[in-house]
Structures are given as C-alpha cells and as structure tokens.
Structure 1
C-alpha cells in the first residue's frame, strides 16, 4: 500500500503537536512492511528524520509547463507561471500560460523561479493562505508523477493539496482532523478557514479525528455523516533519554508547569488564576508558563496584577531536549485547555514521571486513567488538585508511577494500525464505486 501524505510541518522544524503527531504516525506506519509513505511538506529545512518515509519539499518540485485545473475549491484564482523575472521578445501567449482554477483565498500570482519551482516559507506567516493555494498547485504535479494508492492530508493547511491530488489521480482521499478552527478560535471560526475545512471534509472518502470530542464537532459543526468518520487516538514517542542522570533545579521550591501555545484554546488564564489560589496556601512553589502565543503579554500583565510575578517564569517556546529538561524539573504538569482535540504533551509529561492534571474538555481525557481531570473553568478545583499533589507525596508518587506505565502503553504503532485500516476501507469503498 503506497500512501501520498501531505502535511505542513515535520520535526525538528515544528510549531507544535501537528508535526509531532505526523512524525509519530509515519514511524508507526513504517513498522508495516506493506506500507510505503511519501510525505510532502511545503519546504524541507534539513535535519528531518527520513528513516520512516520519503520526504518531499514542495519548494523543490518544478511545476513550469504543467497544466493546472482544480475545480474543488471556492473562488477563482488566475494561475500565472513566470519562468524568470524578465523574458523579452516572447509572445504573451507563451509567457503567460494561464488556467482558471478555484482555490480558497484571494486572487494571487503564482511565480516560479528559473527552474520552474515555487517558493515556500513553510511557516505560519501573513502569506499563509497564498502558500496553501500554491501548495495545492504543486500537489497536483506531485500526484501526476507519483504512484500511490491513497492520499492522506493532515489538517486544514493540507486539505486543498489533498483535494488537488485526488482530482488529478482519482485516488481516495483520507483527511486527518487534528483540530478544527472552532478549537483554535475559542468557538468563533474564521469563515475562510471554515470553508477550507468543510471542503476537505466533503471531498474526503474517509475522515480521521483524534478524539470522539473532535468527531462530534465534525458532525455537529460541519454536517458530516458520522459513518464517514473514524476516531484514532494519538500516541507518544518513547523517551530515549538517560533518566539515571540527576536533574538539579538550583532551588528547593516545587515547580508547576504549563507547556503549550499561550492562546485562548489552551486556557492559560485559568492556569494563572489557579496559581494565585495555590500561592495563598503555600509559598514554596513556582509556576512556569513554557510556550509562546498571542496571550503571552496579557498573562505577564495578569501575574503582575495578582502580585505573583516573583513566583512566575515565562520561558518562551521550547522544543526537543529543552522540553524534556523542563518536564524533568517539574513536580506537576497541567493542561487547562478550553478545547483540546487531543493533547500529546500530557503523555510526554507522564513519560517523564510527572503527575498530570488535564481539563475534561480534552480528547486525551477520553483515554487516560492516571491523570486528575478538572473542568477548565473550575479554577478552585484546579488549585485543589495542584495543592493536593504537592502536599501529598503518596499521591504524587502513585500518579508518577502509574502515569508513566500508562503512557508507555499508548504506542504509535497501534494508532498506525488503525490508520492503515482506514486506508484500506477508503480504497475498498473507492474500488466498489
């Protein structure tokens, strides 16, 4: 079974859980000798682990002289190939080879370099919608030149690419919903993003969601038939670090850690308010907000208003070994997300033997037994849970021991096996039609 997979990020060049999940899934699929994955990202930065699949950067694929005709999107875009900045004495019909096709985004010019390639940043910048459009152009070229049985597109950024590949190849499309814009926005979806998500879901032969929570959102908010959707829970990569090495904090205080994007979806304000409640009951504790996001400065100001700044630390975005070191010095990890489709970071904390508190509004809460669960808005319950773990060593040690054991049972190979079954169902369904 050959899989053409489209994503937006891949370790070590990641911004969060999406890249981590894509990496884990491809490694899990590599365990099966009859599965071969070609993974496409907008840009290959170097340093990516390609042992489990073939990695292609869309920026490295020439598209000049290819016909472009996409019809599955919502607005017309004039696609113009420009082989170089100046080509004098060329007939206009040769210089501008134009085809109208529909994409989600504003009208834009797709310009190629002298090798016929399109430039990508591969990031989440102000030109994101245009890059998504251009990614779909390259996806069509890749699909035409690649042999595969099924298409797998991760999250809304890659849905247009998946649709384009399906259109040119006629092969079945599986989309993977890691989150919806209702999660990211706190309940008020961006109309442009919603439109792309809805188009991807409508075009897909099968839809994978990372939790039943997300599955219900797809049914209720996007009007998708429940029979089309399969829940496949995420997993976690085993730690390869030497845990026998001692970790020193340099101080005696306990450490409570929030690790994630500092955005509305992640509930950072509830973490800050809970911290203030805890500090009224005990002083030998510090709180760490590890991450970055649009609410960071607001959270800094709030800690100042609450007069707890001396007990609060903002680290900025962490990745790789820095995440591991942060977890190793933590006494409690908390994920107070308002809407979390899954949430891999609690599993990483559990692997590091850190007691975990998670919101009931998270997908991972559906499968974890050895984590304390609270409602994201219940600051008092959150503070009680933090205080209880810090004060009672028996509880802390039990959660650390059982949590680690549970996290190691959640393997990507198991998730990959279920994804492979979804592939086969999509292929069978497609062949029977």
Structure 2
C-alpha cells in the first residue's frame, strides 16, 4: 500500500482515510499490509500495517556497517530490511541526490518540490516491489499513482488505486494539466479504481474516460472516538452563547466565503452566536478581511489549524458544524462532528451527503438556506436534540471495518480473479 500521509502526522483528510482503510483491512485477521510512507517519524501506530520508510530505502549501493545503519534509521525501520532492500537496487541512481546511506530524503507533507518528491517516491517503489512479497498493490491518491504503476511494472501484480479527490475537485474546474496527466495515467493503468463517492466515480468515468466496469464507489467511514475524547464534556446547549464551527482547509474548494456570508445573515437576526473558522489555507487572510468588511469580526474566531484532541474539543463545544464545500469528494469531518453529538449542515455537493440522513443538506451557494438552518438549530431546542442524538446513532454504524470488507470483495472480484 502506497500512502503519502498517516497519523499522527496529519496534513489533511488523506491521513485519516489511509489509517481507517488500513485498520479496516487489518481487522479481518488474514491480511498483511505493508504501508510505504515517504517520511515516517517512528511514532505511528504499526499494529495495522508494517511500515516501510521510503526515505530509508537505498537506491544506490553503500557499504555501511550494521551499527551505523541502526543509529541512522533504527527508529523507523530495521537495519535487516535496509540490507535486504539494498540487494534489489535495479539501476544506478547515484546521479540523484542520495545521502550517505544511498537513500533519497523527503521533506514530509507537501513541500514546494512536491513533483520531484513524487518522482523520487516512485523510483524507490521499484526497489520495494522487487524485494517484498505481496499479492496486490493499493495506491492512495495521485501522489502515489506513479509509484503504484512502477510497482505493477516491476512485479506484474494487479494495481488498485483509491481516488480520494481529483483535480476537478481541488481546482473548481481549472485543472492543472500535469496533475490531470498523473491522475489519468494512474487510472489507465489500474485494474480497479475505488472512489470515495458516487460523485467522484462519475467524475472519473466522465472526465477521465474510464470504463465504468472497473470503477467502484467505496464511501469513507469514521473510527470510534478514543475514550479520552469521549470523556470530553459537552457544554449544555441551553441558555448560552451558541457556537457555529467551520473546520477545514480555507481554500475555494471548501466554500469558506459562503460560511462568512451566512454568518452575516444570522447575525442580523441575533447576536447570541459566535462563529469559529478553524483551519488554514490560502483564503485565510481573505476571510478575515471579509468578516471585517461585514462588520462581524467581533463574532468571529480564527484559531488556525487543529489536530487530534483539539479537533474533538472544538467539535464538542460547538452547537452546529457547517461544511459548505463547493466540491467535496467525501468529507469525513461532518461524521466526526456527528460522533460528538454536534448537529451538522453539509452541502449537497459533498460525497458524504450520499450516505448521511440525520443532518441538514443545502446547496453550497444558497446562503439564505444555510443561514436559516444555522439559526434554526441554534434556537430550536427540539431540532438540536433530534439531530444531535440521531446523527450520533447514524454515524456509529458507519465503520471502517465495513469499508475493509467491501475493499476485500473488490480485491477478490476485480483483481485476484485476473490471476
């Protein structure tokens, strides 16, 4: 399995989904997962998967002693695996910027030289594919598609790709031709394409011209709250200033400006509401200025990027969660909010709208409907209680174990049958 990010080092929703899918497959008991990460840190949960540190896989021969290797990479990968991988280097990559172990370094996350790192990751995938024993290749999102293709060419094993988003979602239609090319190449070479929603599946079929018979919808899920997060108390909804939260990247894909405009409309009807816009992104300054222009800056909070326990503290202190995404392949955050008993409003243009019932759905552009929904949940006690209780009950049934079983069926039906 090729993945770009993994908890606890979370840069976006991909890490959450990657972990959930890995957990769901591991839970079946008879599946071994080797997860290839560009730059693991050593504190990842290694129960569901054996982690290969791609920044510790040699692509150029170096005569180094065991103790030195142990000191350099022992916290993220065993020296034995380093030497085993070294014996399967298939070309002279000394021209690349390798370190003293013959390995390529990675910055982690999404650096300015991202395309170079994607290429380096795919080169290393060739060494891994020639060394390890496996039945199926599973590549998550466009960053790992070249690695998946390379592993398929090196091993002859079938390739599944998991489409968590396409550049049509990220760019509002202003597609980057380089990214589109990488995405389409991955899809053309895949034996099975898994999409996080029917919305995304249709994009893959229509915009990337894929055979519908190999494209399947595999909705995301949510894993159970850790006990310490369950123990975070929820403030009483009654008789207090209400809190309405947006939590996500502040980019045009997520529709943050619609949240601010709806907030402005709500605040013309009541001043007993505060708005929290948690996250970071290229539209953050624009949103701060927009709140100031509308004269509602005193009711707005911008706490920045949140992770782990901070997320769940924020969600439990909120009376309403809003995801007004313009284009959202799935969107796990409303499920996390509903887990916390927080009523959610989501855009009809999101993949999770296909499977969620006990939430309010509006068109992302309809700020009047969004404002009405926010105001209603804040001021209608019965509506708040119903959505809080039934929403939690609903998402507690949407588990990664079920997703893992569906992926297994696709492996068996679409991939292993080809062998």
TM-score of the pair, normalised by structure 1:
0.87
Equivalence for 2:157: 171
SS state at 2:260 partner: helix
Which aligned pairs between 1:344-363 and structure 2 lie closer than 5 A?
A: 344-363=332-351
**Structure 1 210/245 Cα, relative in aligned 2: closer, same or farther at 3 Å?**
closer
CA distance in 1, matches of 2:101, 2:375: 61
RMSD: 1.6
Counterpart pick for 1:13 among 4, 9, 16:
9
CA distance in 2, matches of 1:194, 1:188: 11
Q: Report deviation, 1:244.
A: 4.9
Equivalence for 2:194: 208
CA distance in 1, matches of 2:367, 2:340: 25
Give the number of the structure whose residues are more often strand, by fraction: 1
Q: Report deviation, 1:410.
A: 0.1
Q: Report deviation, 1:252.
A: 3.3
Equivalence for 2:69: none
Aligned positions, number: 388
**Structure 1 32/154 Cα, relative in aligned 2: closer, same or farther at 3 Å?**
same
Q: Report deviation, 1:428.
A: 3.1
Structure 2: any 5+ residue segments left out of the alignment?
Answer: 63-90
Which aligned pairs between 1:405-416 and structure 2 lie closer than 5 A?
A: 405-416=393-404
CA distance in 2, matches of 1:240, 1:159: 32
String of CA shifts for 1:239-298, please: whole Å, max 9, x gaps.
Answer: 12354553569x931000000000000000000000000000010000000000000000
Q: Report deviation, 1:97.
A: 3.7
Structure 1: any 5+ residue segments left out of the alignment?
Answer: 67-95, 100-108
**Conservation of the 8 A alpha-carbon contact between 2:59 and 2:93:** no
CA distance in 2, matches of 1:247, 1:365: 25
SS state at 2:162 partner: strand
CA distance in 2, matches of 1:110, 1:407: 47
Which aligned runs of 4 or more in structure 1 are off by greater than 2 angstroms? 96-99, 241-249, 425-430
TM-score of the pair, normalised by structure 2:
0.90
Equivalence for 1:49: 45
Counterpart pick for 1:394 among 382, 386, 405:
382
CA distance in 1, matches of 2:290, 2:105: 41
**Conservation of the 8 A alpha-carbon contact between 1:136 and 1:162:** yes
SS state at 1:129 partner: helix
Which aligned pairs between 1:211-290 and structure 2 lie closer than 5 A?
A: 211-242=197-228, 243-247=230-234, 252-290=240-278
CA distance in 2, matches of 1:425, 1:172: 12
**Conservation of the 8 A alpha-carbon contact between 1:173 and 1:426:** no
Counterpart pick for 1:417 among 380, 401, 405:
405
Give the number of the structure whose residues are more often helix, by fraction: 2
SS state at 1:6 partner: coil
Which aligned pairs between 1:7-406 and structure 2 lie closer than 5 A?
A: 7-65=3-61, 97=92, 110-242=96-228, 243-247=230-234, 252-406=240-394
